Chain A
């Protein structure tokens, strides 16, 4: 071909123009460079927008939610009058438990009154209603529980930290002001003045609130007592079920489809459907769970077992897709090598292919789990949205007990009227984000650990 070309007469006019200096880029090069510069600018702008959005989100959640981890307590001396808390006088917890919470409310009220009197606090307009609503209703219940747990306390004067109402707590967190209190039936400027006086005296402390993590949910009127304990347990149980079911099923299905199944119409159909299932809206899985697990199989409502099963169905396609990708990424030369020394198909897969695919499988599984952890919609349909105050018992029986879940708890709290619940919802989001972050870190750690250097 080169011979033929050299024999042709050179066409006139097609002589390439003399090359300009290399020191000066020509117009074409300048245009190309400009295009590249523009593209880089777009990329940086896109990243800047994403980072700004993330930073804004984190800032908003942290500034709203961080205060949920702190709570205001009143430390006032309370006389545990034996005539009130132990009318029979035998210190028998069974007898004492007949005394209602309301009686302890009276004791706390007396405590407040004597405190105000002893400190000689004079505030205009401070009435009994202000003193009564100063402490949370939960404070009475807590005190009662404390006495029942430890009957020795009867008759003594105890100084226990008592939960203050959400308005007093909000006052120290900047949510409630004297102006807003004037228009609020649940508090008054006089009550806030008392709070200031007590704070100055050291009888009010705002400190870290571990109850927010461990307590169960509380009713509408006791935002200050509401916690995430049941939700965290419920989410944990569901994640256990999802892990135990979806990892073996997903990995076994992937290995079969990827390494053993013949390529035919049926497997193609299965493949397409798995990909489609990954894109099915999660609420559809909720309806499926309601129909199949609750209505047909008769499993209890609001139970982690049902939630876990639904989330398993939802997570399976993700895990299968991730696992198949990880198996595909194992070089075929490793399979050849194993088959070449006479390993069976199964030995090849389990001795060589699976260990090499492990980092990818684990990462996919954890990402799938993290996805399931944050899923709300299907849980609403199977009754996980219910108000649950009792902790579920230990597994396996506990899997059938009613429980809540973190994202559903967040959803529940954001619907409630008291602004204190808004703070708690943000706090719960922080907890959820911490869990997600921990799972992602675990994924990174496992990937590093199992990754083999080639």
Chain B
């Protein structure tokens, strides 16, 4: 289909306007659309995509809640880093590796959609076998405790915690 405005290029933008019960259609090319001040979004910004996907997810989960006592997706909070699903949908950034487990279900569908349906890593793996996620979580918690001990000037405890961290790493 040719562009209605310039009648030269192929129409790639198809607008349907309904005003006063009257429906009108317009088929134009991107260049003419720009000249006429019609804004065309070529790509949905990532954060918009993320928050729209997550809000759909959250709605779906909320409707499934209720009598079963299932937690609303909005309330999911990672015990390790304190990140909530709600905050994540705004910032699009996770708080710690453990979030991948805590937000497993909503993340899985988000990842599949943003990764063209893929959900399994096929690339390189670290040469040394990574320690279990549990170990990483423990280290994260120990680091917090270490900071608190230092703040409280409890150096004896701090030294113990530091040794524990070293052992685990």
Partners in one complex: no
